[in-house]
Structure 1
Amino acid sequence: MYSGRNRNNTVSCFDMQFVTSSISTTLVLLLLGLVMFFVLAAHNLSVYVKENINFSIILSDDMKEADILNFQKKLDKEAFVRSTEYISKKQALHEQIEAMGADPQDFLGYNPLHASIEVKLHSDYANADSIAWIEKQIRKNTNVQKVHYQEDLIDMVNKNVRNISLLLLGLAVLLTFISFALINNTIRLTIYSKRFLIHTMKLVGASWGFIRRPFLWRNFCIGVLAAVIADSILWAAAYWLVTYEPDLICVITPDVMLLVSVSVLVFGVCITWFCAYLSTNKYLRMKASTLYYI
């Protein structure tokens, strides 16, 4: 009766250790996955913001509409252009009346506004140096009166994006080391409770590979289970955010979530397997007398 009761307690203890290790590993992977998610989402957000910064090409009144449309087609073929929009004098006047609530023609007697082309750039070109070069290229057309863009806004956006990216990258590196330490400690405590069993198996002639195998397999399963749970929580949170605010689909893309999920899975499996390998080897190298003093 005693041996049966003891055996049941051992199984229960093992199951509880498995559950506890899985929960703690899941929490660590979830935290790491969130940081990776914010890093990748911040990159997409910076691209989205940069590609929605536009500049205006103010055109001469002497330029015919057919020439303007040809000029727009040439711009569309340029590598730095993401999209263009032609705004005629009439459309510009209409937008001015809607914005100001007054028609400038009433007191000037003519339409003072010019036709223009609104240009949105690819994110790689949305910086002051690139736009200055682009401006020189565009001004080669003699019908271009002015190229208008908000240099201060572009500099501010690039500076903030750079600072946020560095902050998130540093946080990701820090949490990677913290995650490794936490998971390693959890696994070491689990294997610590089996140190006498490891020594007994050595005494009966079991090879190191044979002794390590169940510990490696067990922690591999913990890594997979924890990663799957963490990924499920992250996907559910992302789905809720996109459902709540559909415009976030530009930032929280399927590619971002897939990369986060794969990274969490790979990190979870590799780190738990590696930590189990190191911890098992530690006790395999120990002598019997040392096991009582750790």
Structure 2
Amino acid sequence: MSSSYEQYQKRRLISSYISVVLSIALVLFLLGLLGLFVLNAKKVADHFKEKVTVTIFLKDTAKDVEVKQLEKSLAMADYVKSTTYVSKDQALESMKAESGEDVLDFLGFNPLKNSIDVNLKADFVTSEKLESISEEALSKNFVDEISYDKDLVAQMNDNVKKISFWILLISALFTLIAVLLINSSIRLAVYSKRFIIKTMQMVGATKHFIRRPFVWQSVKLGIIGAILALIGMAIVLYFVDRTFPELAFIKQPGLIIALFVFVFLLGIFITWISTFIATQRFLNLNTDKLYY
């Protein structure tokens, strides 16, 4: 009978430990993913900003030397990421490939113009900077017009500001939820041993002596949970990098290692402080209140 009861208690204890480890792992995993998103949010935003193309259309009277000089000055500018010269014939071929129609068939001539496609560095993709670049280019007498999506640029910058605010807010909220969930799991595990704690205290054991094995056990569970969370984060990071190689998530090892270390230490710290507070509560609790 006693052996059966001991086995039941042992299974219950193991189940409690598994529950704590899974809670810690899940919370730290989600928190780590949020951390990855926060660290790479600017890179993702910059990636899309640098896809915005400013097209400088050239007059047919533009001389080759003038065009090459403009290309060279743009390429050397600190705000330009890349430039591409597109001849009117290349533009016509692209239009034909997209629409499936050849304007030469019904116009008899190529109405398109030679152009230079300019992609700016992300920090310079603002309405003010684009307006300034446009004015500078239009001051040249061989430039016909400048084309870019003004509404898209304005909306993109506005959305980046909004998203940054909500990311910070969600990060703070999620961190609080993570602490509360892990703390709740640890408290339940300690609660199941409240009578052992009080018995040890009644026979003269010091609070530090009673608390130490509980804290150490919880820290070990925290380490296991953190390791599982880090494995999950590494798998997600691997597949994200394979799916979106242009974002180069994995090419910033310093930030990734720092985040992994932070998640690992956070798992240890939360379990340590949660166990300390939980055991302290039962150590200070009156014997007659242990049943409530």
Q: Structure 1 length normalisation: TM-score?
A: 0.81
For 1:102, give the aligned amino acid.
D
Secondary structure at the aligned position of 1:63 is classed as coil
Give the aligned partner of residue 178 of structure 1: 177
- Tell me, yes or no, if the aligned pair for 2:57 and 2:113 is still in contact at 8 Å: yes
Matched, 1:253 2:252: no
Give the aligned partner of residue 79 of structure 1: 78
Matched, 1:153 2:152: yes
Rounded to whole Å, the distance in 2 between the matches of 1:96 and 1:25 is: 55
- Tell me, yes or no, if the aligned pair for 1:195 and 1:291 is still in contact at 8 Å: no
- Tell me, yes or no, if the aligned pair for 1:80 and 1:121 is still in contact at 8 Å: yes
Rounded to whole Å, the distance in 1 between the matches of 2:128 and 2:288 is: 66
Identity %: 31
Give the aligned partner of residue 194 of structure 2: 195
Secondary structure at the aligned position of 1:49 is classed as helix
- Tell me, yes or no, if the aligned pair for 2:55 and 2:117 is still in contact at 8 Å: yes
Secondary structure at the aligned position of 2:81 is classed as strand
Deviation at 1:68, TM superposition (A): 2.1
Secondary structure at the aligned position of 2:117 is classed as strand
Give the aligned partner of residue 24 of structure 2: 25
Deviation at 1:156, TM superposition (A): 2.5
Deviation at 1:231, TM superposition (A): 2.4
Deviation at 1:34, TM superposition (A): 3.8
Structure 1 unaligned blocks of 5 or more: none
Shift in CA distance, 10/145, structure 1 to aligned 2, threshold 3 Å:
same
Deviation at 1:86, TM superposition (A): 1.3
Give the aligned partner of residue 102 of structure 1: 102
Rounded to whole Å, the distance in 2 between the matches of 1:84 and 1:121 is: 9
Deviates more, 1:224-233 or 1:157-166: 157-166
Shift in CA distance, 12/97, structure 1 to aligned 2, threshold 3 Å:
closer
> Where do 1:34-73 residues align within 5 Å?
34-40=33-39, 42-73=41-72
Rounded to whole Å, the distance in 1 between the matches of 2:214 and 2:247 is: 40
- CA deviation profile, 1:188-220 (whole Å, cap 9, x unmatched): 111122233333433454443333222222222
Structure 2 unaligned blocks of 5 or more: none
Rounded to whole Å, the distance in 2 between the matches of 1:284 and 1:261 is: 35
Query: Where has structure 1 moved over 6 Å in runs of 4 or more?
Result: none
Shift in CA distance, 143/32, structure 1 to aligned 2, threshold 3 Å:
same
- CA deviation profile, 1:59-116 (whole Å, cap 9, x unmatched): 233433233223222212222211111123333344344445224497465x443322
- Tell me, yes or no, if the aligned pair for 2:194 and 2:290 is still in contact at 8 Å: no
Shift in CA distance, 46/206, structure 1 to aligned 2, threshold 3 Å:
same
Q: Structure 2 length normalisation: TM-score?
A: 0.82
> Over aligned residue pairs, what C-alpha RMSD do you find?
3.1
Deviation at 1:264, TM superposition (A): 3.0
Secondary structure at the aligned position of 2:78 is classed as coil
Give the aligned partner of residue 287 of structure 2: 289
